[in-house]
Amino acid sequence: MSETDTAPGIAARCRADGGLTEATLGELRDELGYRKLGRWVLAEIADTLRATGLGFFPPHRLDAALNTEPRQSQTVWIYVRDGGPRARVIDAILQPDDCDVRAELDVIGTKNPAGLTARQKLDRIREIVNA
């Protein structure tokens, strides 16, 4: 089984949407063939997305310890972890110990890039990721 065979629908949709898409927990549950969205299904969804080469945020939505009452209408953003600029920036925020955060944040375009420090860029991205 190839990586994209583990969640073919959401992987294809994400790629068709340019590498970033939003999905409800209900859609992800259905993709994996579960009938109910129990909190323990969240770990299975997260593991499947990772195995498919996809990342997601906000991370707490698929964490059973933090999302103790998941709802099928809750959404997560799913992105292709292809090493491109978007994936590198999101990964820098979600997993800062695994990369050069300063270098990755320098690729973020703003109206006034000189007006934002690396810390301000990081804070802005965290706001988006944890929304």
**pLDDT tens-digit readout, 97-107:** 888 887 777 76
Domain ranges of the chain: 1-82, 83-131
Position 113 confidence tier, pLDDT thresholds 50, 70, 90: low
Residue 115: C-alpha distances to residues 7, 19, 74, 100 (Å):
41, 29, 35, 21
Residue 111 has pLDDT above 60, yes or no: no
Position 3 confidence tier, pLDDT thresholds 50, 70, 90: very low
Show Cβ contacts of residue 40 under 8 Å, excluding neighbours closer than 6 positions: 64
Give the predicted TM-score (pTM) of the model: 0.76
Helix (H, G, I), strand (E, B) or coil at 21: strand
- The rounded Cα 85 to chain-centroid distance in angstroms is 14
Residue 91: C-alpha distances to residues 1, 9, 20, 83, 113 (Å):
26, 23, 13, 9, 20
Position 114 confidence tier, pLDDT thresholds 50, 70, 90: low
Q: Compute the mean pLDDT over every residue in the chain, rounded to the nearest whole number.
A: 84
Cα separation of 125 and 94, whole Å? 10
What's the distance, Cα to Cα, between the start and end of the chain in Å? Answer: 34
